[in-house]
């Protein structure tokens, strides 16, 4: 079931000073329509039942939690549990939101879906959901990302999606979003924009969070049932921030639970080649990108900066507005892991637990590996293992020169 | 060139330009050009060259992620940024154009993030001091525009609202009566860029807005030839041409001459009689 009992966002889509609806007029009516349609849908038991049924029978939910025993023992501190979103059909948490929005699009009578993708996981999730529901799917993907995530490009094509390479700007996720929005504004009557993270104009940050909140709802119940207590710390990687919001949301009232988001530290903060929006406030300031107000990596003149991460899914210059609010409220803390640390964590998880994690999720693992030894063996760290790493094998092989 | 109208910048300057255009043309002509494209000096020359045939001029302030713009304007702003064009530099160019004697109303068209980075109040104040008349901010709908609008009003400049073919009757009824300066009507759902045809239902859209509007209605997006300008001019009070002009200047060897001739041909399409 979805949860939406929090006080944010307000009816204008504001998360405190963040969020909002900064889009061209042409899109405003479509956004109003979407707000209404989503509100109707989430209050319609039949819609929710269909969504729940697909999550169970098609995605394979609930995804299990795994106790990483060998890793925990090797680190000699807290017990690490993994929320296994990597075991979802199509390989990541992205499918939760893709299915929810595709169902909503169908309900709205929109037969054409456009989506952006960075790592390709959201593109694959969208293509999968569209194949399942019989919708046309166009995925915009930066040409740089296409080169580094080839397996996912093949998957999307096999699933019947059209993958459109984006050559503008930095040729990565932010440019793919620009192109998806340009398509949406041009074909707004027939088309739903299936945005893949807690970004963009209201209602997307709220709606995507709600569709992903199943992660935390399940994990909370699973830990209570299987271990008998809540975790001390929850760790998730943050690109746009949908898997993190998804696992954080159910724990927001559990004040004893530390919520930690891990951004992409790239080649290190000093290098300037990273996507750590909260770590480098010299170049990351409050701004507006892709319809929402949040922290944005930008030049002094307000031009959006190119970011760097070994993981395409974290390579984005802004961050979901609700994360900015959680950070202001000190309800969540944010840190970063470098490319090197993520790669090391990737290998560690492969060897100690027999799990190949996505490079994105490896950032969260890196933080867990840093923290566990500083905690007691009776404490618990819950890591959102947001996706599997099959898509990253080429990148990892090259980086490790294997 | 002599001014028969009030020369104070802002609302009255814009109103006078529409009124004066109506004496000889079916509609006012407002070309768009990107500041800093293909370089600083050339963009100034182009604006100066098109001014005699223009009633108002839209000046593009470059942004790295122009999501309402098609390929032509995207490319021009990208090149302007590569040349090092900044927001502050654009305001300096406005001042320079005024010093060169270009007296047409200037509308600064730019996205919201560079304005936030500059500081809303400072931006509006500096723009007013440089000689600008109003602002077009495509990613700032009325829902988010309170702060900017207050700043603009304090300087007696205007923030131009958009309406689109997708705007429903409620939005038109809310936005149109409050509009100042003029209303920017987007002729077609989409991004900027020349198109082969003018939307067939444009007249109906203009009429729907006209019911509520107390200011002129200018139509933009997809208008690129004198014939299209004439067609739109017969329906609306203003005609906005951007991508086609950028494209003409881009392709020509003698850019300001070509741009001037092109805008003159657009104006000829709008002449009465």
Catalytic status, residue A386: yes
- CB-closest option in B87, B114, B162 to A25: B162
Cβ–Cβ below 8 Å for A303 and B68: no
Average pLDDT over residues B227-233: 97
pLDDT, tens digit, 9 for 90 and up, residues B140-164: 999 999 999 999 999 999 999 999 9
pLDDT of A402: 73
Nearest CA in chain B to A12: B143
Cβ–Cβ below 8 Å for B139 and A286: no
pLDDT, tens digit, 9 for 90 and up, residues A267-324: 999 999 999 999 999 999 999 999 999 999 999 999 999 999 999 899 999 999 999 9
pLDDT, tens digit, 9 for 90 and up, residues B177-208: 999 999 999 999 899 987 888 888 999 999 99
Q: What percent of chain B has pLDDT over 90?
A: 92
Cβ–Cβ below 8 Å for B70 and A286: no
Domain-wise residue ranges, chain B: 10-270
- CB-closest option in B114, B190, B191 to A301: B114
Collect all residues of chain A within an 8 Å Cβ-Cβ radius of residue B138: 24
Confidence grade of residue B5 (pLDDT, cut at 50, 70, 90): very low
Confidence grade of residue A4 (pLDDT, cut at 50, 70, 90): very low
Whether residue B225 contacts residue B244, with contact meaning beta carbons closer than 8 Å, is answered with yes
What residues of B act catalytically?
58, 69
Confidence grade of residue A6 (pLDDT, cut at 50, 70, 90): low
Sheet with A65-67, side-by-side order of all strands = A65-67, A79-84, A380-385, A233-237, A258-266, A332-338
Residues in chain A: 402
- CB-closest option in B113, B139, B140 to A302: B113
In whole angstroms, what is the distance from residue B268 CA to residue B227 CA? 10
Of A116, A179, A218, A322, which one is the catalytic site residue?
A116
- Cα dist from A60 to A51, A63, A84, A93, A207, whole Å: 12, 7, 11, 11, 21
Q: Which fold has domain B10-270?
A: TIM Barrel (3.20.20)
Confidence grade of residue B43 (pLDDT, cut at 50, 70, 90): very high
B85 touches chain A (CB under 8 A): no
SS3 A155: helix
Nearest CA in chain A to B68: A182
In whole angstroms, what is the distance from residue A291 CA to residue B197 CA? 30
- CB-closest option in A22, A178, A298 to B117: A298
- CB-closest option in B81, B162, B186 to A303: B81
For residue A5, pLDDT over 70 is answered with no
Average pLDDT over residues A337-341: 98
pLDDT of A215: 98
Higher pLDDT, residue B133 or A149? B133
Whether cis (ω within 30° of 0) applies to the bond prior to B196 is: no
DSSP state, residue B163: E
Collect all residues of chain A within an 8 Å Cβ-Cβ radius of residue B112: 22, 288
In whole angstroms, what is the distance from residue B90 CA to residue A64 CA? 56
In whole angstroms, what is the distance from residue A215 CA to residue A205 CA? 16
Cβ–Cβ below 8 Å for A286 and B63: no
Whether residue B262 contacts residue B242, with contact meaning beta carbons closer than 8 Å, is answered with no
SS3 A58: helix
Backbone angles phi, psi at A24, to 5 degrees: -60, 150
Chain A residues whose C-beta is within 8 A of a chain B C-beta are 12, 20-30, 32, 168-169, 174-175, 178, 181-182, 185-189, 285-291, 296, 298-304
Q: Find the helix or strand (DSSP H, E) in which B15 lies.
A: helix B11-24
Collect all residues of chain A within an 8 Å Cβ-Cβ radius of residue B86: 301
pLDDT of B4: 40
SS3 B158: strand
pTM reported for the whole predicted model: 0.96
Give the DSSP per-residue string, A167-224: -STTSSHHHHHHHHHHHHHHSTTTEEE---SS-SSTTHHHHHHHHHTHHHHHHHHHHH
Collect all residues of chain B within an 8 Å Cβ-Cβ radius of residue A142: none
Average pLDDT over residues B236-256: 98
Measured over the CA atoms of residue A136, residue A141, residue A145 and residue A147, the dihedral's sign is positive
For residue A257, pLDDT over 50 is answered with yes
Nearest CA in chain B to A287: B113
Average pLDDT over residues A187-205: 97
Cβ–Cβ below 8 Å for B171 and A300: no
pLDDT, tens digit, 9 for 90 and up, residues B202-212: 999 999 999 99
For residue B1, pLDDT over 90 is answered with no
pLDDT of A1: 42
Beta bridge partners of A57: none
DSSP state, residue B138: T
Confidence grade of residue A3 (pLDDT, cut at 50, 70, 90): very low
Backbone angles phi, psi at B73, to 5 degrees: -75, -35
Collect all residues of chain B within an 8 Å Cβ-Cβ radius of residue A181: 67
SS3 A139: strand
Collect all residues of chain A within an 8 Å Cβ-Cβ radius of residue B65: 169, 174-175, 178, 289-290, 304
């Amino acid at each position: 079931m979805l949860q939406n009992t929090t006080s944010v966002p307000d009816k204008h889509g504001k998360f405190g000073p963040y969020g909002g609806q900064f889009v061209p007029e042409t899109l405003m009516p479509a956004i109003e329509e979407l707000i209404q349609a989503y509100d109707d849908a989430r209050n319609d038991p039949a819609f929710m039942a269909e969504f729940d049924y697909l999550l169970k029978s098609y995605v394979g939910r609930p995804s299990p939690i795994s106790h990483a025993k060998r890793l925990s023992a090797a680190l000699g501190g807290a017990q690490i549990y993994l929320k296994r979103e990597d075991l979802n059909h199509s390989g990541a948490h992205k499918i939760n939101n893709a299915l929810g929005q595709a169902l909503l699009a169908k309900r709205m009578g929109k037969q054409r879906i456009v989506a952006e993708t960075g790592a390709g996981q959201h593109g694959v999730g969208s293509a999968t959901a569209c194949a399942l529901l019989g919708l046309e799917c166009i995925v915009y993907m930066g040409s740089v990302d296409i080169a580094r995530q080839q397996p996912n490009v093949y998957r999307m094509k096999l699933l019947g999606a059209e993958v459109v390479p984006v050559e503008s700007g930095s040729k990565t996720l932010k440019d793919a979003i620009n192109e998806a929005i340009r398509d949406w504004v041009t074909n707004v009557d027939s088309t739903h924009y299936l945005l893949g993270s807690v970004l963009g104009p209201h209602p997307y940050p709220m709606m995507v969070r709600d569709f992903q909140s199943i992660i935390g709802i399940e994990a909370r119940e699973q830990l209570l049932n299987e271990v008998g207590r809540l975790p001390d710390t929850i760790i998730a990687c943050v690109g746009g921030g949908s898997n993190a919001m998804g696992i954080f949301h159910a724990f927001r009232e559990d004040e004893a639970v530390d919520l930690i988001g891990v951004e992409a530290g790239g080649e290190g903060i000093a290098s300037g080649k990273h996507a750590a929006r909260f770590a480098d406030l010299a170049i990351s300031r409050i701004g507006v990108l892709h319809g929402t107000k949040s922290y944005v990596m930008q030049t002094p003149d307000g031009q959006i900066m190119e970011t760097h991460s070994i993981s395409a899914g974290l390579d984005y210059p802004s961050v979901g507005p609700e994360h900015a609010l959680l950070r202001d409220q000190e309800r969540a803390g944010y840190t970063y892991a470098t490319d090197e640390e993520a790669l090391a964590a990737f290998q560690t998880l492969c060897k100690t637990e027999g799990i190949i994690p996505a490079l994105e999720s490896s950032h969260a693992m890196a933080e867990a590996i840093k923290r566990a030894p500083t905690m007691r063996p009776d404490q618990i760290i819950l890591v959102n293992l947001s996706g599997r790493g099959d898509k990253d094998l080429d990148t990892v092989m090259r980086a490790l020169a294997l | 060139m002599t001014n028969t109208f009030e020369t104070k910048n802002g609302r009255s300057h814009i109103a006078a330009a529409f009124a004066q255009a109506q004496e000889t043309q079916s509609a006012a002509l407002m070309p768009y050009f990107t500041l800093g494209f293909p370089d600083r000096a050339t963009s100034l020359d182009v604006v100066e060259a098109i001014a005699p045939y223009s009633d108002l001029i839209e000046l593009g302030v470059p942004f790295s992620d122009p999501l309402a713009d098609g390929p032509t304007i995207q490319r021009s702003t990208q090149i302007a940024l590569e040349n090092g064009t900044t927001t502050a530099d654009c305001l300096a160019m406005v001042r320079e154009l005024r010093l060169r004697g270009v007296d047409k109303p200037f509308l600064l068209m730019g996205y919201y993030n560079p304005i936030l980075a500059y500081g809303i109040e400072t931006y509006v104040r500096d723009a007013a001091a440089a000689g600008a008349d109003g602002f077009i901010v495509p990613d700032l709908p009325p829902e988010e525009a309170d702060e900017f609008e207050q700043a603009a009003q304090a300087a007696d400049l205007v923030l131009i609202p958009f309406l689109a073919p997708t705007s429903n009757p409620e939005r038109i009824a809310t936005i149109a009566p409050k509009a100042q300066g003029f209303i920017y009507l987007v002729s077609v759902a989409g991004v900027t860029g020349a198109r082969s045809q003018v939307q067939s239902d444009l007249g109906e859209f203009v009429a729907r807005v006209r019911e509520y509007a107390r200011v002129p209605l200018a139509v933009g997006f997809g208008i690129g030839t004198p014939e299209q300008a004439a067609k739109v001019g017969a329906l609306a009070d203003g005609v906005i041409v951007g991508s086609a002009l950028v494209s003409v200047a881009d392709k020509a060897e003698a850019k300001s001459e070509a741009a001037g001739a092109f805008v003159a041909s657009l104006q000829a399409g709008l002449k009465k009689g």
